[in-house]
Amino acid sequence: MKVGFIGLGNMGAPMAANLVKAGHQVTGFDLAAPCPEGVTPAASAAEAAAGQEVVITMLPNGAILRAVAAEVLPAMARGAVLLDCSTVDVESARAVAAEAEAAGVLAVDAPVSGGVGGAAAGTLTFMAGGTEAAFEKVRPLFEVMGQKAVHCGASGAGQAAKICNNMILGVTMIGTCEAFALADKLGLDRGKMFDVVSTSSGYSWTMNAYCPAPGVGPKSPADNDYKPGFAAELMLKDLRLSQQAAEAVDADTPMGARAAELYAAFVEDEDGRGRDFSAMLPRFERRGRT
């Protein structure tokens, strides 16, 4: 396929490189980052988008997505697909989809899980919102960049699935970390704690697959001095998006709200920025109740 790729950062660059490797013809644009090998550089986002069958965006936030969409939609061919893989607020995803429709362009919001490692290995999971026809058009690209793509529903449904998943993830990570810190103070060995919880009703992905305690369970960022992995500031971004969405639809999410507060304190006032989100464990370890 002929693909335009806008936003060639930590995630976008390896995703674009995988499309090239699979034989797609990719033209790229980024304000700052260079194009990976095999991607033809364009002078602007509009130039990267002109005449493409699919235009992929992988950008930092909803405001930037809206600005880029306003620039590229007039340049895109009717019937082409604007495929946004960034994590953005549900409202921006829906607003961009409405503008695309007005321009005769199909839109899919398809945020990813799997991080930079998944982007490089082509094993991302895509959660997609948009029409069935639009989803089917971009399915071959999902198959190159990822191992699974779930069509979640209409425009915005992909972003909704992503922030609900990551709200659970943030809450569960905090629960797992505070339980380890409590176990420490009760004199319980971390290995025993893992053996019990990972096979009992407290089990979770954060305990079983991404254990925040170093030397316990399968290898995780905790075993690499809490280098990300999934950085605490990205978790904070997703938790804030979940709370923005919860406010918009009047959903009561007390645990999500508390998780957002804790990650905000961790990233903004403590030493969390640049550390993996599981570094909440050493944070709790050092603290008492006040």
Minimum distance of ligand NAD from residue 200's CB (angstroms): 30
Q: Should residue 87 be labelled a site residue for ligand NAD when binding is judged by CB under 6 A?
A: yes
Specify whether 2 is catalytic. no
Q: Should residue 10 be labelled a site residue for ligand NAD when binding is judged by CB under 6 A?
A: yes
Among 52, 86, 176, 278, binds ligand NAD (CB under 6 A): 86
Q: Is the distance from CB of 226 to CB of 279 less than 8 angstroms? A: yes
CA torsion sign, 262 to 268 to 270 to 273? Answer: positive
Among 97, 160, 234, 236, binds ligand NAD (CB under 6 A): 234
86 or 242, CB closer to ligand NAD? Answer: 86
Minimum distance of ligand NAD from residue 251's CB (angstroms): 21
Q: Is the distance from CB of 84 to CB of 110 less than 8 angstroms? A: yes
Minimum distance of ligand NAD from residue 65's CB (angstroms): 8
Q: Should residue 115 be labelled a site residue for ligand NAD when binding is judged by CB under 6 A?
A: yes
Query: Distance (Å, rounded) from C-alpha 287 to C-alpha 290?
Result: 8
Of these residues, 137, 162, 185, 219, which one is catalytic? Answer: 162
88 or 207, CB closer to ligand NAD? Answer: 88
Minimum distance of ligand NAD from residue 187's CB (angstroms): 36
Cα 108 to the chain's mean position, in Å?
15
Nearest to 226 by CA among 240, 211, 245: 211
> Could you list the residues that contact ligand NAD (CB under 6 A)?
6-12, 29-33, 45, 58-60, 64, 68, 86-87, 112, 115-116, 230, 234, 237
Known catalytic residues are 162
